[in-house]
Chains A and B, each alone.
Chain A
């Protein structure tokens, strides 16, 4: 037969086929790369979920202890309700969240609650955590008094809450009431934002029960500061537990989505591979039958 090099039409057809095969291969390679990257992502999210689950037990235990601090605080507040004054009280909102991401809607729920409260009763703002800080500083930068970060990597300690309370008292400006906005831990899969009020020194002094005691020094300011540290501690620990549970849920959903993507990509890859093989077979058979 003629040598292959002198059959130009067949050469062109073969070149076109090879290109098509290469195109098919390139698409195959793209699918392969996507498959590899989704597999890596699934490994990462699965390990993050496991880490969050182990951290959750410790965070829950700390939260159960911390709630006792908060209960004592609320008990005190119940007996010293401030009377409604004529002019609007000056309110300092303390938003409690953290710096870390990949935890679902934790930070947005705090931001939304603060925006809602500020719309009803405006006041000044102290924020714990970088994520709500960046969200709120875009909406209401003028209200900020002080912000904190580097909290929440580990279970929060009372020392940290005390330091935060100290800073707020030093640099938080003037206020009549403090309202703490934080996430309440409802269960291992759900949380909700809530507002807690903290007593102020003035309200304590005016309270009936307080005045029944004789005191050498006026300790109402000390008690108010301690109550603030208590309330911040409870909010920090509960928010930490809520964040870890939300991160666990978010990573679990991400792993499930990644698995679904991998299944559909795998099917696509197999179909593509079979198409390439079928085309090659067709070429060979038509080439053979033309001989």
Chain B
């Protein structure tokens, strides 16, 4: 049985999705503890020809009121 996920994502993305599913299945206290361990705030920026592109969140945060533009 070949896995179909390989066509769409890397192994890291695959395990991220699987572990997120597992975390959401835990009981309340364990789930909160696990989500603290899995917090992602990292932002990335693609570069081309020495020019930086715009910054994107890997995991977009919950919408806050009055969010400004991220500093470059």
**Which residues of A are at the interface with B, using a C-beta cutoff of 8 A?**
137, 141-142, 144-151, 153-154, 157-160, 162-167, 169-171, 217, 221-222, 225-226, 228-229
Chain B residues with CB under 8 A of A144? 47, 50, 52
A148-B43, A159-B19, A166-B16 given; 6 more Cβ-contact pairs under 8 Å: A141-B50, A144-B47, A150-B41, A160-B39, A163-B42, A222-B11
Chain B residues with CB under 8 A of A141? 47, 50-51
Using CB atoms, name the residue of chain B closest to A222: B11
Question: Given A159-B16, A166-B16, A217-B3, are A225 and B44 neighbors across the interface (CB < 8 Å)?
Answer: no
Max chain B C-beta neighbours (<10 A), residue from A137, A166, A226: A166
B69 interface residue (CB < 8 Å to A)? no
Report the Cα distance A145→B48, complex, angstroms: 7
Chain A residues with CB under 8 A of B63? none
Using CB atoms, name the residue of chain B closest to A236: B42
Using CB atoms, name the residue of chain A closest to B50: A141
Give which listed residue, B37, B38, B50, contacts A142 with CB less than 8 A: B50
**Minimum Cβ distance to chain A for residue B61 (Å):** 10
Count of B interface residues, CB-CB < 8 Å? 28
**Which residues of B are at the interface with A, using a C-beta cutoff of 8 A?**
2-3, 9-13, 15-16, 19, 37-47, 49-52, 55, 58-59
Max chain A C-beta neighbours (<10 A), residue from B2, B42, B43, B55: B42
CB atoms of B12 and A163 under 8 A apart = yes
Number of A-B contacts (CB under 8 A): 87
Report the Cα distance A107→B9, complex, angstroms: 32
Chain A residues with CB under 8 A of B43? 148-150
**Minimum Cβ distance to chain B for residue A141 (Å):** 3
Max chain B C-beta neighbours (<10 A), residue from A147, A169, A228: A147
Chain B residues with CB under 8 A of A163? 12, 16, 40, 42, 58-59
CB atoms of B3 and A169 under 8 A apart = no
**Minimum Cβ distance to chain B for residue A153 (Å):** 7
Report the Cα distance A141→B50, complex, angstroms: 4
Question: Given A146-B47, A169-B10, are A153 and B52 neighbors across the interface (CB < 8 Å)?
Answer: no
Report the Cα distance A245→B10, complex, angstroms: 35
Report the Cα distance A154→B40, complex, angstroms: 11
CB atoms of A166 and B10 under 8 A apart = yes
Chain B residues with CB under 8 A of A228? 12
Give which listed residue, A147, A148, A166, A217, contacts B12 with CB less than 8 A: A166
